[in-house]
Structure 1
Amino acid sequence: MAGPLTDIKVLDLSRILAGPWSTQVLADYGATVWKIERPTTGDDTRHWGPPYVKNEQGEETAESAYYLAANRGKQSIEVDITCPQGQEIIKKLAVQADIVVENYKVGGLVKYGLDYTSLKAINPRLIYCSITGFGQDGPYAQQAGYDAMIQAMGGLMSLTGEKDELPGGGPQKVGVAVADLMTGMYAVSGILAALHHRNQTGEGQHIDIALLDTQVAWLANQASNYLVSGNVPKRLGTAHPNIVPYQALPVKDGFILLAVGNDGQFKKCCEIIGCPELADQMEFSTNGQRVKHREQLIPLLERQFKQQPLVYWLEELSSAHVPCGPINTLDRVFENPQVQHRNMQFELEHPTAGKVPMVANPVNFSQTPIEYNQAPPTLGEHTEQVKKYLK
């Protein structure tokens, strides 16, 4: 068996990242995904380089690394949805599809007869997922939304970065497009829930998911901190608002990320760094006290950690089950023995680039394991194949 969604068919009208990320996950899980692309240009991210993948002769191909990240397992079909012939192709696919994913502006597909109401009329069992910046209604509904602006508007950048008064202080965006990615993941969970509902009732439905809603939803404990206390959270660099010590600390030859999650771990940490008395001091004896007195505690810890190199602390703390880790660059991430053991990197055969590197889906099914059989497709690679399928 090639995955738990083997019999599911997905009509993917999305582009960029949030939508394609969701449909790539569905493809990983075994679904057939028809990726509809504009003739000649295709998905915008095909051109978001460099870097571009190189062929076996070392020459750059037309496939950007960005595009590769979110489009494996799909069939690319060039269709002009602005013309009647293209719309007819989409409708034929919609009749056979279980799921549609689209990220056009609100109402943008109505004029082509490809909106939810129109496609529901020909396939009432269809699950139709619309991904937009701000949702299908509300004062911002007609505005376009992009990841960085959503990170800013949704509060994430107010929480990310060093304190304003420190060197390098100020708002920062996260290093990957997390608002897009989390929206894609919420889309997947919503789609799977809707599939379950359809299995029980036979009814399809429309899913409305917005980047801004998603960003607000996954503020998680920071949102709860604000709503409960009324205090607006501030940037803390790598530090945690509710747990101390839980941050990067300087060591003799770099930095370590210390993630002490309870009082027992803190006691062990203090013993290892040569300051067992810290754990017994009233102002540091519980996590609540450490949060209140972090400004006094952290300099004491920094002084001790600077006395030994990173490897020493990793070995000593890990052997005592005190959570910690190095701050790896990406080359070290993919060299990490645990990452390699879990097969988080693999390769797929590509029609123009030979073998292309991929990052694996982290979900491991015991009965329906993921099979990676299709590299991110070249533009229109499956157009004729799918047209024959529709005849």
Structure 2
Amino acid sequence: MGGENVLPHRIKLEADLPGPLDDIVVLDLSRALAGPHAAQMLGDLGARVIKVEHPAGGDESRGWGPPFVGPDHDISTYFLAANRNKQSIAVDLKTPDGKALIERLVRQSDVLIENFRTGVLDRLGFPVERLHELNPGLVVLSITGFGHDGPEGGRPGYDQIAQGEAGLMSLTGPSADEPYRVGASIADLLAGIHGAYGVVAALYDRKRTGKGRVVRTSLLAAVTGVHSYHGTAWTVGGQVPVAGGNHHASIAPYGAFHCADGMLQIAVANDVQWRKVATLLGIDPGQPRYATNRDRFAHRDELITDMEKALVAHDRAHWLARLAEEGVPAGAIRSLDEVYAWDQTRSQGLVVEVDHPVLGRIELPGPPLRFDGLDEAEHTAPPALGQDQDAVLRWLRERET
């Protein structure tokens, strides 16, 4: 497509996949995780994603590990996580030839994704005004650490820094005195998710206006945007939430509990479920301390103690079976190897197989969305640095004619 550069026919690339965005071209100038994750999501939806990397080493996440795999132990599993369904070309954006190639690609693209520090793309010669001169229909996704403007808009941002600055670490961990980071790079991943849905909205808007626009998000915005009830606890309720370990900030009982052979999770969202759990564990559900959620939360420590006195009598499998019989939400705490071996995970398309040029047939975490008729879509492996240079240049020449 590409705004005013729409062609009446579709020119195929080897990486083309069926999907809702299969007529969209994404020029991915991003690196590390937030931008690549956004581009990967668009690729999962069928977009044609051309990843631009520096010839000297490429995306820095190619060097992030362990673990590294392959015959020479030089392939980063970190890179593999965020770059499926893409093609890679090697371009030095600081050279005249590199700039000229980017200009040609911009003219033929629908979306450009970048997560440089504020001002870097301008200094490379590609401010937004220039990008829209080249292609008025271009949607630009810009992901920064703390926003593109404001008193700290130019700060560099990495995931753990953003988790701390945006308050997430204060909500995570065993207590207020011991803040923890979320185990996954959640600020990066959420920024990518927000960015991808912003791109889709901008593409829809382009159908009405014929013009592209800039979509901006940041690691700060991504984390602050999911504060949800923790945010309103302060903005409306005047209370500063703190870390509560493995138990919910507003609902009880809702969390992780010890049983005979480890831990299981029980989530009681209403009084009907509570009466079932209490009866199962031999606790009087109507006693004043535990009659309502407000009462139970006020006496949460006592409630946890009473529940665990009963739970330690049997193992996890026993309690999960009994809770399932009662229709009470409960579950195990799985390690990642257990998650990827779980039949339910695989039934949802959350593991995909791809053919990697060095590693052969490998499994990757799959996309979280499913579309009718596209569940069996083939995915392509994350590319080697510059492996698609010739294919993309051929496509570009054909596109331009």
TM-score, with length taken from structure 1 = 0.95
Of 154, 176, 185, the match for 2:166: 154
Mapping of residues 1-391 of structure 1, within 5 Å: 2-54=18-70, 59-164=71-176, 170-275=178-283, 277=284, 279-369=285-375, 371-391=377-397
Q: CA–CA distance in 2 between the matches of 1:318 and 1:97?
A: 51
What SS is found at the alignment partner of 2:289? helix
Q: CA deviation at 1:332?
A: 1.2
Q: CA–CA distance in 1 between the matches of 2:228 and 2:174?
A: 20
> Which residues of structure 1 form unaligned runs of 5+?
none
Alpha carbons 1:35, 1:75 under 8 Å: kept: yes
Q: CA–CA distance in 2 between the matches of 1:177 and 1:373?
A: 24
Q: CA–CA distance in 2 between the matches of 1:359 and 1:370?
A: 15
**Letter aligned with residue 256 of structure 1:** L
What SS is found at the alignment partner of 2:236? helix
Alpha carbons 1:132, 1:145 under 8 Å: kept: yes
Alpha carbons 2:38, 2:193 under 8 Å: kept: yes
Percent identical: 39
Q: CA deviation at 1:295?
A: 2.3
What SS is found at the alignment partner of 2:367? coil
1:344-365 Cα shifts (integer Å, max 9, x gaps): 2222101111112211112110
Q: CA–CA distance in 2 between the matches of 1:22 and 1:141?
A: 21
Q: CA deviation at 1:341?
A: 2.3
Distance 1:53 1:311, change over 3 A: same
Q: CA–CA distance in 2 between the matches of 1:370 and 1:242?
A: 40
**Letter aligned with residue 134 of structure 1:** F
Q: CA–CA distance in 1 between the matches of 2:343 and 2:396?
A: 47
Alpha carbons 1:76, 1:380 under 8 Å: kept: yes
What SS is found at the alignment partner of 1:161? coil
TM-score, with length taken from structure 2 = 0.92
**Letter aligned with residue 203 of structure 2:** L
**Letter aligned with residue 278 of structure 2:** C
Q: CA–CA distance in 2 between the matches of 1:111 and 1:182?
A: 27
CA RMSD of aligned residues (A): 1.3
What SS is found at the alignment partner of 2:153? coil
What SS is found at the alignment partner of 1:101? strand
**Letter aligned with residue 87 of structure 1:** K
**Letter aligned with residue 40 of structure 1:** A
Q: CA deviation at 1:6?
A: 0.4
What SS is found at the alignment partner of 2:308? helix
Alpha carbons 1:260, 1:266 under 8 Å: kept: yes
Alpha carbons 1:73, 1:372 under 8 Å: kept: no
Q: CA deviation at 1:369?
A: 4.5
After the TM superposition, which of the residue ranges 369-378 and 236-245 deviates more from structure 2? 369-378
Distance 1:370 1:129, change over 3 A: farther
Q: CA deviation at 1:368?
A: 4.6
What SS is found at the alignment partner of 1:186? helix
**Letter aligned with residue 198 of structure 2:** G
Q: CA deviation at 1:343?
A: 3.3
**Letter aligned with residue 37 of structure 2:** W
Q: CA–CA distance in 2 between the matches of 1:292 and 1:373?
A: 50
Across the two proteins, how many residue pairs are aligned to each other? 381
What SS is found at the alignment partner of 1:118? helix
Q: CA deviation at 1:130?
A: 0.6
Alpha carbons 1:28, 1:372 under 8 Å: kept: no
